[in-house]
Structure 1
């Protein structure tokens, strides 16, 4: 009997020593798995994965398929911000807080942020209610302020004060209710520093938003550092709040806002992660000026011991041939003469094409390129052949007269090919007379289109 009671107690203790995270997505996507990550700084750490189970339920007389999944976490699982990712392309995810409690939540997979609801989890239920209430109240306050700016003759001072009091009341209520909870720093940091009185011009209004955007954000708080909160806040500040229609002004705003954000971080490893995050963000629009700015003014000023040399090398290689860059230089011997890309001066434009005699696609396109440019005296071609040996190339290049021909041995491992990040042939670059890259056409048709427009 004692052994039986001890066994029951052991099973009971084991059950209580675990936490479960249960999720439901409706409708179901064509996805088999969900992955659980812990957010750490600007990156995420794999925790578990779980297979999605498909169930059918009745919704107002119609059958609907839903997906359910579950994770079991041991008792020593760290409190923190976690993320469930459920599709890799156009990544869909739900973020939540785990603090030693079970969670149940549901969401629409196409609109996770707008639809997620928690049925179990004191922390997440309180935080979602707070976000809903404060968002609605703040929107009402902003609406009054904007209406006043658009219609200065209206007397909205009283309405503004009433709305401001409501915002402050909600903020204070949830600061009190979240005391000693994991979610408390998020609620405090989410507070807006609204003016005590209605503002009378747009410039003052925008200046107030920009100047006070991080007013209640503690950049040393580990809870905030290890969450998506700061990343979202930084993204909003740099890419949405500091905005101009003028491209030159926008670049200045980017630099100023980047500086302001990065200087706020004292945690060096996190600062490194933020700089890398911002470099990746500017990479999506190939904003080379800002990428260079981030490297020169921030990344290279990090301690040498923390700089990631592989990251630097890979990014520099990737951006070396971006539009607007001067094409990386190289030299070759042609008919006994020494040539160098940077010193060519026989044309207004150049087409640099990386190709190979072992590439069937090249053997189809390259002769067509030759025919297309045969009579065009304003465009010169540098044909860089990636080969294992010179024999096939030596014979074939005679079919392409009046071009500059360069032999690149070791094919894909050729040093120049690696500098230009060549992973497929043919690959085209169009250069101006100063050898600045002005276009990177995807195909021969794109080359023709660009040349014809000039």
Structure 2
């Protein structure tokens, strides 16, 4: 009898020594693997990965393939926000809370956030129910506000007041129920600060939204800091709430929103992560002005111990040869003279071409460019040839008189080629007299079109 009791105790202890995260996606996807991360602000820490098992279920007489996966977390796993990622690009993940309990959920892989349903986990079921209920109530309130803006003559004060009261009542109910729960800070921070009365103009409505957007968010709360919540809200505020169709106005709004966001953050490591995150976001649209602004006015003012020199150097190198930048300088010898790009003064514009005698596209296009520019006195060509040795180059350059010819040995590993991020040849850069890059045409026809406009 004693041995049986010991066995039962051991089985029970083992059962509580680990937790399971079960997910089902319907339909399944082609990928075999899914990765689990712990989300900490703008960072993701790898936890483990697992294979997606394929099963099938019959829905309305048709068989549907399901993707099923399970993660096993040890007893000492940290409480916090986690992310199951099944696509490396796009919205290919499901976020959930882990608070020392099993978690089970199902979702559609094409729109996970809208479709996810939790079947196990008190914390996640509660928070998802809150989000659904508060969203429905908020949409009702917003629809009355929109109707009032579209039809100023309508008297909607009473229904707005009732909807406003309903939203606040739902929030109060969930806040009370969330007492002592891990998700309580999310419930507090998710609540919008809606005006108590109808606003009578779209401008005032948007101004109020911008002004009160962060009112409910505690940027010092560790639970929020160690999740994607604040990062997502910052993304909304910077890139969607503050919007203008005018390019110059938009740049100004970006800077104003960045200042407001960073003024909210007192946690220095988190501020550093957010600045790096914003730089990476602006990188996708090659917004060099904002990238420079973030480095010069915010990143470089962080404590030196926090700054990531590798990150800064990589980004600065990545954007060194983009439109709007002064072309990185390089030197060469020509007819016994030492020349450098920065000191050339023999043309109004320059066409810098990275090419190679071993590149078939180059051999076809380079003679065409030479013929096209033969009588053009305003544009001078700098032909930077990436070669393993100088044998073919020495002979070929003789067929291209009146150009500046530069030999770049080590081909793709050439230092200048790496500075210009040359991944293929031919690569074209059009410069003004100050060697500022004014265009990076993709093809020969684009080169001709741009030069024709000079």
TM-score class, shorter? over 0.9
In the other structure, the counterpart of 1:374 is 374
Matches within 5 A, 1:163-174: 163-174=163-174
Aligned partners of 1:202 and 1:271: how far apart in 2?
32
SS for the counterpart of 1:425 is coil
Q: Could you tell me how far 1:9 is from its partner in structure 2?
A: 2.0
Aligned partners of 2:368 and 2:49: how far apart in 1?
51
In the other structure, the counterpart of 2:82 is 82
Q: Is residue 59 from structure 1 mapped to residue 59 from structure 2 by the alignment?
A: yes
In the other structure, the counterpart of 1:273 is 273
Superposed CA offset, 1:172-208 (max 9, x none)? 1111111111111011011111111111222221111
Aligned partners of 2:29 and 2:452: how far apart in 1?
45
Q: Could you tell me how far 1:247 is from its partner in structure 2?
A: 1.0
In the other structure, the counterpart of 2:180 is 180
Q: Is residue 189 from structure 1 mapped to residue 189 from structure 2 by the alignment?
A: yes
Superposed CA offset, 1:225-249 (max 9, x none)? 1111111100110011111121111
Q: Is residue 352 from structure 1 mapped to residue 352 from structure 2 by the alignment?
A: yes
Q: Could you tell me how far 1:166 is from its partner in structure 2?
A: 0.8
With over 3 angstroms needed to count, the CA separation of the structure-2 counterparts of 1:91 and 1:115, relative to structure 1, is: closer
Matches within 5 A, 1:296-307: 296-307=296-307
Q: Is residue 362 from structure 1 mapped to residue 355 from structure 2 by the alignment?
A: no
In the other structure, the counterpart of 2:135 is 135
Aligned partners of 1:104 and 1:28: how far apart in 2?
16
Tell me if structure 1 keeps the 8 A contact 2:33–2:50: yes
Superposed CA offset, 1:346-390 (max 9, x none)? 334322111222334433332333334334444321111123333
Q: Could you tell me how far 1:151 is from its partner in structure 2?
A: 1.8
In the other structure, the counterpart of 2:101 is 101
Tell me whether 71-80 or 422-431 shows the greater mean CA deviation.
Answer: 422-431
Q: Could you tell me how far 1:425 is from its partner in structure 2?
A: 2.5
SS for the counterpart of 1:87 is coil
TM-score by length of 1: 0.96
In the other structure, the counterpart of 1:424 is 424
Q: Could you tell me how far 1:449 is from its partner in structure 2?
A: 4.2
In the other structure, the counterpart of 2:320 is 320
Q: Could you tell me how far 1:278 is from its partner in structure 2?
A: 0.1
Q: Could you tell me how far 1:452 is from its partner in structure 2?
A: 4.7
Q: Could you tell me how far 1:211 is from its partner in structure 2?
A: 0.9
Aligned partners of 1:155 and 1:84: how far apart in 2?
48
Aligned partners of 1:93 and 1:434: how far apart in 2?
47
Aligned partners of 2:72 and 2:316: how far apart in 1?
42
Q: Could you tell me how far 1:31 is from its partner in structure 2?
A: 1.1
In the other structure, the counterpart of 2:337 is 337
Aligned partners of 1:161 and 1:189: how far apart in 2?
22
Q: Could you tell me how far 1:92 is from its partner in structure 2?
A: 0.5
Q: Could you tell me how far 1:333 is from its partner in structure 2?
A: 2.3
SS for the counterpart of 2:86 is strand
Q: Could you tell me how far 1:40 is from its partner in structure 2?
A: 1.2
Aligned partners of 2:193 and 2:302: how far apart in 1?
32
SS for the counterpart of 2:350 is strand
Superposed CA offset, 1:84-136 (max 9, x none)? 11122435001111111111111010010110001111111111111111112
Q: Is residue 291 from structure 1 mapped to residue 324 from structure 2 by the alignment?
A: no
Aligned partners of 2:378 and 2:134: how far apart in 1?
63
Q: Could you tell me how far 1:304 is from its partner in structure 2?
A: 0.8
Aligned partners of 2:447 and 2:89: how far apart in 1?
30
User: How many positions carry a matched residue from both structures?
Assistant: 454
Tell me if structure 1 keeps the 8 A contact 2:91–2:112: no
Aligned partners of 1:429 and 1:313: how far apart in 2?
22
Q: Could you tell me how far 1:345 is from its partner in structure 2?
A: 3.4
Q: Could you tell me how far 1:25 is from its partner in structure 2?
A: 0.5
